[in-house]
Amino acid sequence: MSHSSKEFKPLNIAVLTISDTRTIETDTSGQFLVDALIAAGHKLHERAIVIDDPYKIRALVSKWIAEETCQVVISTGGTGFSDRDFTPQAIIPLLDKNIEGFGELFRSISHEEIGTSTVQSRAVAGMANHTAVFCLPGSTGACRTGWNKILEEQLDSRHKPCNFVMHLG
């Protein structure tokens, strides 16, 4: 990881688990993200679990995007192809700009780990009201990949040559 001499800027990050079955006690993916962001020096803005319902997903993410104190939203779950996977359809209409490279890079890195099964990932990201929104698959392994190999660096104000921090509210 390449860092500049700039000071680290902790971000306020919300974590959303999208699942019909997980609870706080069984949500290993959401817990991994919470632990990872805190270990990196960021602050947990809020953590929530919502069922796979596009309107409930959109309502909560819209609330966070509208809050001046929330700078990043990371969701886990609902990015596959089952009949209940609605995360991309719920989130994409909220975005001002898509971050196409996020999904492309995530799938490229995932290919090294899970082979061609990565084509079933609909990981997406974008910016909305100066808030970065990243949608990861629901497995803890996918969250680990997304955080360790993309998000940790891109949410670090010291990362060179560029990072997302300068674009956040």
Domain ranges of the chain: 12-167
Mean pLDDT, the chain, whole residue set: 92
Residue pLDDT, tens place only, 53-70: 999 999 999 999 999 999
Q: pLDDT-derived band of residue 6, with 50, 70 and 90 as boundaries? A: confident
Residue pLDDT, tens place only, 114-161: 778 777 788 999 999 999 999 999 899 999 999 999 999 999 999 999
Q: pLDDT-derived band of residue 108, with 50, 70 and 90 as boundaries? A: very high
**Full strand arrangement of the beta sheet holding 124-128:** 43-50, 12-18, 72-76, 131-136, 124-128, 97-98
pLDDT at 121: 85
Which class in CATH covers the domain with range 12-167? alpha beta
31: Cβ–Cβ under 8 A, 6 or more apart, which residues?
none
Name the β-bridge partners of 126.
98, 133
Say whether the peptide bond before residue 161 is cis (omega within 30 degrees of 0): yes
Tokens of 14: 């919300």
